[in-house]
């Protein structure tokens, strides 16, 4: 059984959010602002296209990550759905103490 999502750190210090075969990223500055100030962080995806020898790329914001009201978890809201990770695990990955951590699917309250 595979994990529904994964949060991993990069060598440059940013974070990779891997959910449902899509790879998005959170910059180092945004991850720090989320950890220390509770400021929501945009989750971005870069798409590279090659047409006739010309390489073009576009960066889009796919969602955001924010600390929940209790301050104990980080919620990822993307176009494809919502995921959650304990704040401690998020901090460990962002600081480089852990290489990766699983994301858990979050069921919307309307469907419960």
CA distance 53 to 10: 29
Nearest CA to 41 out of 21, 19, 14, 9 is that of 14
The one-character DSSP state at 80 is: T
Predicted local distance difference test score (pLDDT) of residue 1: 42
The pLDDT, as a whole number, for residue 109 is 62
Cα first-last separation, the chain = 25
Res 73: pLDDT:
96
Q: What are 48-97's pLDDT values in tens digits?
A: 888 888 888 888 999 999 999 999 999 999 988 899 999 999 999 999 99
Give the model's confidence band at 107: pLDDT under 50 very low, under 70 low, under 90 confident, else very high: confident
pLDDT band at 21 (very low <50, low <70, confident <90, very high): confident
List of E strands, the chain = 5-9, 15-19, 22-26, 41-51, 54-67, 73-78, 81-86, 100-105
**Where exactly are the structural domains of the chain?**
5-105
pTM: 0.84
């Amino acid at each position: 059984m595979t994990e529904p999502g994964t949060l991993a750190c990069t060598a440059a210090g940013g974070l990779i959010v891997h959910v449902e075969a899509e790879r998005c990223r959170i910059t180092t500055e945004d991850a720090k602002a989320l950890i220390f100030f509770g400021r929501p962080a945009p989750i971005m995806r870069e798409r590279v296209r090659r047409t006739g020898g010309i390489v073009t790329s576009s960066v889009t914001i796919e969602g955001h990550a924010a600390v929940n009201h209790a301050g104990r978890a980080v919620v990822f809201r993307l176009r494809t759905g919502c995921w959650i990770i304990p704040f401690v695990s998020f901090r460990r990955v962002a600081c480089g103490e852990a290489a990766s951590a699983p994301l858990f699917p979050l069921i919307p309250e309307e469907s419960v």
